[in-house]
Amino acid sequence: MSSSWWSEVQMGPPDPILGVSEAYKRDTNPKKINLGVGAYRDDQGKPYVLSCVRKAEAQIAAKKLDKEYLAIGGLGDFTKACAKLALGDDNEVIKSGRNITVQTISGTGSLRIGANFLSRFHTEARDVYLPKPSWGNHTPIFRDAGMQLKAYTYYDPKTCGFDFQGALNDISKIPEKSVIMLHACAHNPTGVDPRPEQWKEIADLVKKRNLLVFFDMAYQGFASGDIDRDAWAVRYFIEQGHNIVLSQSFAKNMGLYGERVGGFTVVCKDAEEAKRVESQLKILIRPIYSNPPMNGARIAATILNTPDLYKEWLGEVHGMANRIITMRELLVANLKKEGSTRNWKHVIDQIGMFCFTGLKPEQVERLTKEFSIYMTKDGRISMAGVTSGNVGYLAQGIHAVTK
C-alpha cells in the first residue's frame, strides 16, 4: 500500500466565527445565548424565512421549471435585477450597458471571483487595503487569490466609533492604483459607518490617490431598513466617476443564507469594455464551478421582478432592521438599569447586524465561561441573536464583567 499521502497535513485551527457556534452547541446551560454568527433571528430566537421568499418559492414550484445549467454568468433575470437594486433603477451605468454583473455563490463567492479577477488583470498593484478591522474571511480570500493584504485605520477603540482622521491619513499614503476595500454599509465587525459628508471626503481622496475601489455590500436594506439609503455610498462613488467593483450578498437581506445568492459587478468604461471583462470573468469562473446554483437566484429574481413581492420584501427588510434597532435600544436601557456607569452610546450609534461592544478578550472569556454568552473574541456581538426575552440576561452579564 502506498505510504500515506497526507501524513504531513497538519490539523488546522477551527474557523474563529463558525467555531463559536460549535462551542455554543455543546453548552448545556438553558440560558445560553449565541451572539456569534451573523444570521438573523426573530424575537423568539428562531431562524426567519421571509414571507416573500415562501411566496416566491410557491410561484416557482408551480411553474415546474427544468434544471438545465444556467449560463456561466448566471440567471439573466437575476443579474439584471441585482445590478438595479445596487445602482438604482435609472442609473447611467446600467443605461449605458457599462456594467457587467455575474451571479455568484453569495458574498464570499463574489469577493473571491473579484479577488481572482484583480489578481489576474489588475497588474499595476498587488495590494488590497482592508479597513482595520474587517470581516475575518476577507484576508484569506484575497491572500489565496494571490493579492497582498494591507490595512488602513478605521475603527477607533477609544470612541467605539469611526476614526475619520486616521482613515484619511492612511488613505492619503496608499500607493496609486492600489485596491481599497470599502464596506458599503453596516461595517462588519464594528457596525461603524462613515456619515455621508465623511463618505464624500473619502471619495475625493480616493480619486486623488487614483485607487481602485472594491465595495463589499453584504447588508443592503439591512442596515438602515432602506435599500436606497444603504446603497448611497456605492451610488455616490459611481456618480463621482469611480469605476468600482462591487460584491453583493442576498444572504441577510433576503434571508437566503444557504441558497448562496450573490452578485459581482465591474463598472467599466463603456459597453465594449464590459464585453471584454465579461469574457474573462467567464474564463475565470468556468474552472471553479462552471455555472452557479439556480434555486436561490430564481427566488431572488422572482422577488425583485414581481411588484407585489418586491413591496412585501421591502417591508420585511425594514422589519428586520427595526427589530435590531429596537434591541440596541433595549440593551442600552437594560445596561443603565443594571447600574452600569460606562458610556454605551455606541451600541445605539452602530448599525446593522453587529455591535462592537468594546469588551476585551478576558471579559469575553468570562461572559462565555460564567454566563454561557457566546461571541467572537474581538467583542463583536450579533444583535440578531438578541431578543426581548434574553436582552436582560445579556445586560446582566455584560455589566458583571465590565463594572
Single out the segment in contact with a copy of itself by CB under 8 A; choices: 149-157, 294-302, 311-319, 335-343. Answer: 294-302
Per rule CB under 8 A, is residue 288 in the interface with a copy of itself? yes
Tell me if residue 5 is catalytic: no
Nearer to a copy of itself, 106 or 357 (CB): 106
Per rule CB under 8 A, is residue 282 in the interface with a copy of itself? yes
Q: How many other C-beta atoms can be found within 10 angstroms of the C-beta atom of residue 358?
A: 17
Single out the segment in contact with a copy of itself by CB under 8 A; choices: 10-18, 78-86, 300-308, 345-353. Answer: 10-18
Tell me if residue 216 is catalytic: yes
Nearer to a copy of itself, 64 or 173 (CB): 64
Single out the segment in contact with a copy of itself by CB under 8 A; choices: 107-115, 126-134, 314-322, 393-401. Answer: 107-115
Per rule CB under 8 A, is residue 6 in the interface with a copy of itself? yes
Per rule CB under 8 A, is residue 259 in the interface with a copy of itself? yes
- Beta carbons of 323 and 316 less than 8 angstroms apart: no
3-state helix, strand, coil in the chain (%, to 5): 50, 15, 40
Q: Which of residues 121-150 bind a copy of itself (CB under 8 A)?
A: 121-123, 137, 140-141, 143-144
Tell me if residue 360 is catalytic: no
Per rule CB under 8 A, is residue 16 in the interface with a copy of itself? no
Within 8 A by CB and 6+ apart from 342, the residues are: 335, 402
Per rule CB under 8 A, is residue 276 in the interface with a copy of itself? yes
Nearer to a copy of itself, 228 or 239 (CB): 239
From 80, 207, 229, 336, residue interacting with a copy of itself (rule: CB under 8 A): 207
Catalytic residue among 170, 252, 313, 344: 252
Q: Which of residues 180-199 bind a copy of itself (CB under 8 A)?
A: none
Which amino acid, residue 182? L
**Angle, alpha carbons 69-289-234 (nearest 5°):** 95
**Shortest Å distance, C-beta 161 to a copy of itself:** 29
User: Please, is 158 exposed, middle or buried when counting C-beta atoms within 10 Å of its C-beta (0-12, 13-18, 19+)?
Assistant: exposed
**Angle, alpha carbons 231-235-241 (nearest 5°):** 155
The span from the CA of 334 to the CA of 123, in Å, is 53
The span from the CA of 303 to the CA of 229, in Å, is 20
Residue 317 three-state SS? helix
Q: Which of residues 311-350 bind a copy of itself (CB under 8 A)?
A: none
If binding means CB under 8 A, how many residues of this protein chain bind a copy of itself?
Answer: 84
Per rule CB under 8 A, is residue 160 in the interface with a copy of itself? no
Nearer to a copy of itself, 350 or 382 (CB): 382
Full DSSP string of 201-270: HHHHHHHHTTPEEEEEES-TTTTTS-HHHHTHHHHHHHHTT---EEEEE-TTTS--GGG--EEEEEE-SS
From 153, 159, 198, 243, residue interacting with a copy of itself (rule: CB under 8 A): 243
Q: Which of residues 58-97 bind a copy of itself (CB under 8 A)?
A: 61, 64, 66-72, 92
**Shortest Å distance, C-beta 153 to a copy of itself:** 23
Tell me: cis bond preceding 14? Omega within 30 of 0 counts.
Answer: no
Full DSSP string of 180-207: EEEE-SS-TTT-----HHHHHHHHHHHH
Just list the catalytic residues: 135, 216, 252
